[in-house]
Amino acid sequence: MTFRAPVRDLAFALRHVAGFERLADAFPEADADTVDAVLEAAGLFASEVLAPINRAGDLTGARLENGVVRTAPGFAEAYKAFAEGGWTSLAAAPEHGGQGLPKTLEIAVLEMVQAANMAFGLCPMLSLGAIEALAHHGSERQKRLYLPRLVSGEWTGTMNLTEPQAGSDLGALTTLATPDDDGGYTLSGQKIFITWGDHDVADNILHLVLARTPGAPAGVKGISLFLAPKVLVDDSGSLGAANAVRVGGLEHKLGIHGSPTCVMLYEGAKAELVGELGQGLAHMFTMMNAARLQVGAQGVAIAERAYQQALDFSLERTQGRSAWTGAYPSRLFDHPDIRKTLVLMKARIEAARGVCLSTAVAADLANHAATEAERAAARLREELLTPIAKAWSTDIGVEVASQGVQVHGGMGFIEETGAAQHYRDARITPIYEGANGIQAIDLVGRKLMLGEGQAIGDLMDDMRDTLEALEAAGGALGGLALRFQAALDGASAATAWLIERRARAMPDALAGATAYLRLLGDTVGGWMLAKGALAEPVGLRLALARVYAETVLATVPGQVAGVTAGAGDLEAVTPEALGAH
């Protein structure tokens, strides 16, 4: 099955759904011709270089040989071509060797990279997060020494948070950073689940590591951020001796086999402080928030890849008699149930794509809009949408990949077809970079009251503006408005209940958090498709919006009960009642 980069769909989403035109003043160089050229070139690279080695990455995987990680066949050559193509530098600042283009365009490019080869795409994704963290919190020396090499792709970056006893609870981490005699630190400890923690595709790896210093307060207030290179670097940028950091093992994973996920052992490794002591978690969140949006785009990407394979299979496989023509044998595509499944898969992809790109536009505006008022409003929108972009889009990725297996039938359960790989690869995305339950807690516990409720209020107002446009258009769009209005009313009711309960009964609010994120994501996804239908009110865009409205938006009013059920029944349930011994 071949991969076709969704260049046209991305261009449509940027221009007609996400509001990319709002970036014109801040990024005059990102005109239509430039955007089209970047998307076309990235799509070509993804289709011709990355997609062909995706299957080998899954079958062969990364391997640890004599303490050195060897990547899957073709990965090192592909990474060299990726770096030489300047793909890591798209949105980086020109003073560090970057092209200064919008982050939104970077997200669009990375979606194609991840769809073509998710295991490969994780490497530059982590480097981009390291660039973000050092650009915001690094010293001038660190920016001079490390950023140009990360931006060029000459070196790569990692994010070291998790420890065996400390998963999402970072306050429990124990890795120790002890001051040395040269103004630096030595790191001692173990980190697990470190994506691309070691490899053979670049000359050096810059590890960003959370650790605590001797005597630091317990919990998250005692955490600081440190940089430890795999190979030591002098003040001229030249490589020296190996640092005291090594790979303790490779994780054996359900999917993304081509991505080396490492146990990292720091055994007195030389390191330097990034930013301020005690502010490590805040500094790392700069990297994590960028990564969360990129993981949301991964959800879209793997859904796109699974959908394309399912569509191709449905056109090749014959089975039964066509309900429309009576022809026998009939293509799978000519069965209404299969066709509806494919249309809904496509609709969910376009909805999630719109959510992620809209979040990216808000992020660009938060940093580059002309006035402080515009930047503040955009920042509220970015913060509100980020947990939805990450969690809802990755749930969509798993659902669409599962539907892809279903369209294949028994052939989907057989590894040789490749459909199973997409499902296995997709399953990690709701877990890493903050599990989706944590995203829901963040949405309800913090994001709903951003700006004293202004963020969610502004979002609801913007969605109702689109509802009015649908109603004014009439016809098929007017019919779409009925479902969208009911969903908006349901979202408003659930939001009001949560705001009231979080003020005096937080267990009730948190018990409904995951259901609320799903409800709000479904509604915002419908908004994205409605904007697409308004821009192109005939043909596919209208069909996608209508099928989504009748299949997904129609369920939103019923989802309110799942949000507002409260925690009373949960509090009464004991482990023994659930079968624990």
Mean pLDDT of the 572-580 span: 94
Residue 541 has pLDDT above 90, yes or no: yes
pLDDT averaged over every residue in the chain: 96
Say what the pLDDT of residue 168 is: 80
Q: pTM, whole model, 2 decimals?
A: 0.97
Contacting residues for 447 by C-beta, under 8 A, at least 6 apart: 383, 384, 387, 455, 456
Say what the pLDDT of residue 286 is: 83
Mean pLDDT of the 149-165 span: 96
Torsion angle of C-alpha atoms 453, 457, 460, 464, degrees rounded to 10: 170
Mean pLDDT of the 449-456 span: 96
Residue 1 has pLDDT above 80, yes or no: no
For 78-136, write each residue's pLDDT tens digit.
Answer: 999 999 999 999 999 999 999 999 999 999 999 999 999 999 999 999 999 999 999 99
Say what the pLDDT of residue 449 is: 96
User: Most distant CA pair in the chain: distance in Å?
Assistant: 82
Write phi, then psi, for 225 (nearest 5 degrees): -110, 135
Q: Is 433 a catalytic residue?
A: yes
Residue 290's pLDDT band, with cuts at 50, 70 and 90, is confident
Q: What is the DSSP letter of 275?
A: S
Share of the chain above pLDDT 70, in %: 100
Three-class DSSP category at 249: strand
Residue 54 has pLDDT above 90, yes or no: yes
Give the burial string for 269-289 (b: 16+ CB within 10 Å, else e). Answer: bbbbbbbeebbbbebbebbbb
Say what the pLDDT of residue 464 is: 98
Say what the pLDDT of residue 235 is: 93
Gap between the Cα atoms of 291 and 128, Å rounded = 8
Residue 499 has pLDDT above 80, yes or no: yes
Q: Which of 48, 77, 433, 468 is catalytic?
A: 433
Count H helices and E strands in the chain, helices first: 19, 11
Contacting residues for 400 by C-beta, under 8 A, at least 6 apart: 302, 303, 306, 307, 345, 348, 349, 426
Say what the pLDDT of residue 62 is: 97
For 399-429, write each residue's pLDDT tens digit.
Answer: 999 999 999 999 999 999 999 999 999 999 9
Task: Please choose, from the candidates 118, 524, 430, the residue with its C-alpha nearest in 3D space to the C-alpha of residue 301.
Answer: 118
